[in-house]
Structure formats: structure tokens, C-alpha cells
Amino acid sequence: MLKGHTRFIALLLIGLFALAACGGQPTASPGGATAEPTTAPATAQPSAGDDLQVDRSRLSRELRFFNWSDYIDPSILEDFEREYGVRVIVDLFDANEDMLAKVRAGRSGYDIITPSDYAVDIMWREGLLAKLDKSLLPNLKNIDPDLLDKYFDPGNVYSVPYMYGITGIAYNRQFFPNGVDSWAALFDTTQIERYRKQFSMLDDERESFGAALKYLGYSVNETSPEALRQAQELLIAQKPFLAAYNSSDVNRKLASGEYIIAHSWSGAALQARNGLGSEFSGNPDIVFVIPKEGGVIWMDNMVILADSPNAYTAHVFMNFLMRPDIAARNAEYIGYLSPNVEAIKLLPQEIIDLYNEGFAPNEEVLKRLEWMVRNEQTSAFTSLWTAVKGE
């Protein structure tokens, strides 16, 4: 077990280090978290399994967590409530832009959220995030240093890694006996005619434009008018063949056979392969691939909102999620990649084998992956996407 596992981590570390798009120097965080009203039983005591001396008198009774769908093992929330007496109320989103719209409107009531890389960048610049108090996050020591201090939050002043993954193509090998190795399988109209209305693209302005741009030979961050025109044209030509733009239940539809191929996040594909707890059963014929033209690597991160009334409790929850046993259970359940090096050591061999089959990047695949960035020009994707969708 350790052999394959160690090789996986080594490959991952080498590749991620090479790809790391770091920027800026760490900024000292004074730790802006404030105490919330006393609502839970008092007495500070060490909590099981981590180093944090939790002051229970500072815990709120509830915590509001805004998370991607199918992105946490529900039994972990029950464990947190059992251990700390805090009920975590979860609301779901399926696109960074939807999450941002809700948070920007103000008074969302959320304490903790899991934005992707480029969305963290947007959020801290807009003053939406609280600075983290690292003294309340001792389990940060378990996080792979190569996944810290990234370009979107230098010094991790506002965010800590939750899960990461890659975006490519998931397909049912029964219908593609020769395999799939190109985005042409989703864009070439002579190919997609065969599975008209049996495939989906992510309902995501950056991801779907990113796939089209990669197929055309561009970077996912390309914003020249000519490249964007070509990508838009490609997406519009594909649209009549699509079953849907779908970021919410690609996992279920691949597993059930309703889709035979889909633009997918790696973890959703692994859920389609393995099933998801008691939610649905998996399909052993689901395969995941990063096309030869390349794909996306991304990371979702835990952040606390600047107006969170429960920042102390949010830190305790974040620290809990970074406990190796908890992070391992979560990664095994949701199928995404844990940034927690101690958790990876606890994963079962079955999961490591699937990583090695393509549900995680190896050294060769890492060379074909790109991180998404945001800048003045990338806001163009919003109006182009609205036009493609015809909204």
C-alpha cells in the first residue's frame, strides 16, 4: 500500500511545486477574528485529536456553512456537533459566480465558505473576507506546504486549502471502447452527433470557456478578442447537442447512465465511479481523463466572511476539518484530493489505486494543467457566458 501511495504523493508534490503559481510575500496576519457571544457551556478544554485548546464559552450554537454540493461527508458535521455542541447548517452552491452574487449582496448570514482559487482573490480584494487567526488553526501544520502561499492569497492571510482537483472528461468506457483523449469528444460535431443529448458541460463560465479555449490551443486564461470569439462560436455550435449545462448532478447522471460522457471535475467523476455514501451507487465503467490539449487544476479553500458573527467557532470548525482522521474520511467520501499530507497517509488503497488510474494527476498530466487566474480582462467571461446560454 505504501509503495503506490508514496509514489502518488511524490509525483504530486514534484508536479505541483513545478506548477505552483506563487505571488507576493506572506503578509503578517494580526488575526482579525473576534469573539462571539457566549451561548454554549463554559470551561476551556483540549479537544480530542488536535492541539487546539477550545474555549467552549466562545462557541456559538450554530454555524452557517456555504459549500459546493456533494462536498462534505455529512457524518463529519454530526461528529462536530457531538464534539462541540455546534450545529452546522449547510447551504449549497454550484458555481463561484453564484456564491459571489449572494455574498456581495450583503448580510448573507454565512460564516464559512469554500471559494475556488480565483474567487478567493476576488473576495479578499473586495473586503469580503476576515483575516484568519492562525493561532486557532494548529492543524494547518498538516497541509502540504506546496499548496500554501498560492498566487490567490499570498501568506494564506484569508484562506486555507479545503480540497483540490482537476477538470477534464468523465466517460463510460462501455460506449468508448477506444478511450477518449481529446476535447474533440465534446466539441467535434461529427462525434457528438452519436451521443446527442447524452452529455453535459459544466455550468460554469470559466470552466466551459476554459475547455473550449484548450481545445482551440489557447490558455484557459486567454482573453484576446479573437480567441474569445472562436471559443464562443464553438460553445454555441455545441449547444444543440448538449443534454444540459450541469454542475450539480453530473455525478448522478453519469452513474445512472443518463450521460455517457461529461465535462467534469475529478471528484464528481470519482463519485460517479464509486457512488456517494447512501445517496447513490457508483458505476465501475466510469473513467476520468485529462485531454491531450490540457485541462484545469484548481483548489477550493475555507474562508470566513468579514461579517461572520461566529468567527471563533468558524476557526474551530476549520481546524476540525484539517484533523488528519477527519480530512481523510472526507476525502474518501467526496472523492476530491486532500491537501492534508497526514490525511493522505490514512486513505485506503482502493482510493489510491483510483488516483493512479487517472482520478488524480500524475507527473505527466500535471504538465498539461493550468490554474485559473482573474484579472481585469477575465470579467469578459461573464457576459460572453450569458450570451452563450441565451439568458
Other residues' Cβ atoms within 10 Å of the Cβ of residue 42? 10
Helix (H) or strand (E) holding 54: strand 53-55
Closest distance to ligand SPD from the beta carbon of 256 (Å) = 17
Distance CA 215, CA 293 (A): 6
The single residue among 5, 11, 70, 374 that binds ligand SPD, judged by CB under 6 A, is 70
Question: What mask, x for binding ligand SPD by CB under 6 A, covers residues 224 to 263?
Answer: ----------------------------------------
Distance CA 2, CA 204 (A): 37
Report the residue number, 71 or 124, with the smaller CB distance to ligand SPD: 71
| Region from 68-76, 121-129, 255-263, 322-330 binding ligand SPD, contact rule CB under 6 A | 68-76
Report the residue number, 265 or 355, with the smaller CB distance to ligand SPD: 265
| Region from 28-36, 69-77, 212-220, 221-229 binding ligand SPD, contact rule CB under 6 A | 69-77
Tell me the residue number closest to ligand SPD, measured at CB: 68
Q: Sign of dihedral through CA atoms 84, 28, 340, 307?
A: positive
The single residue among 71, 312, 333, 381 that binds ligand SPD, judged by CB under 6 A, is 71
Q: What is the DSSP letter of 359?
A: I
| Region from 67-75, 77-85, 171-179, 238-246 binding ligand SPD, contact rule CB under 6 A | 67-75
The single residue among 152, 195, 265, 359 that binds ligand SPD, judged by CB under 6 A, is 265
Distance CA 294, CA 308 (A): 38
Residue pair 256/194 in contact (Cβ under 8 Å)? The answer is no
Closest distance to ligand SPD from the beta carbon of 336 (Å) = 7
Closest distance to ligand SPD from the beta carbon of 207 (Å) = 5
Distance CA 205, CA 114 (A): 18
| Region from 25-33, 66-74, 348-356, 373-381 binding ligand SPD, contact rule CB under 6 A | 66-74
Per CB under 6 A, contacts with ligand SPD among 162-221 are: 206-207
Closest distance to ligand SPD from the beta carbon of 370 (Å) = 11
**Which regions of the chain does DSSP assign to beta strands (E)?**
44-46, 53-55, 62-68, 87-93, 112-113, 159-172, 199-201, 244-245, 261-265, 275-276, 280-281, 286-289, 295-304, 369-370
Residue pair 60/309 in contact (Cβ under 8 Å)? The answer is yes
Distance CA 319, CA 137 (A): 5
Closest distance to ligand SPD from the beta carbon of 3 (Å) = 30
The single residue among 60, 108, 116, 319 that binds ligand SPD, judged by CB under 6 A, is 116
Question: What mask, x for binding ligand SPD by CB under 6 A, covers residues 292 to 311?
Answer: ------x-x-----------
Burial class (CB in 10 A: 0-12, 13-18, 19+), 384: middle
Report the residue number, 92 or 306, with the smaller CB distance to ligand SPD: 92
Report the residue number, 195 or 265, with the smaller CB distance to ligand SPD: 265
* 264 lies in the binding site for ligand SPD (CB under 6 A): no
Report the residue number, 295 or 324, with the smaller CB distance to ligand SPD: 295
Classified as helix, coil or strand, 290 is coil
Q: Which residues contact 310 (CB under 8 A, 6 or more apart)?
A: 36, 60, 62, 63, 64, 111
Report the residue number, 300 or 342, with the smaller CB distance to ligand SPD: 300
CA-nearest of 83, 144, 136, 143 to 112 is 136
Q: What is the DSSP letter of 357?
A: I
Give the phi and the psi of residue 263 in degrees, each rounded to 5. Answer: -70, 125
Binding site for ligand SPD (CB under 6 A): 68-71, 116, 206-207, 265, 268, 298, 300
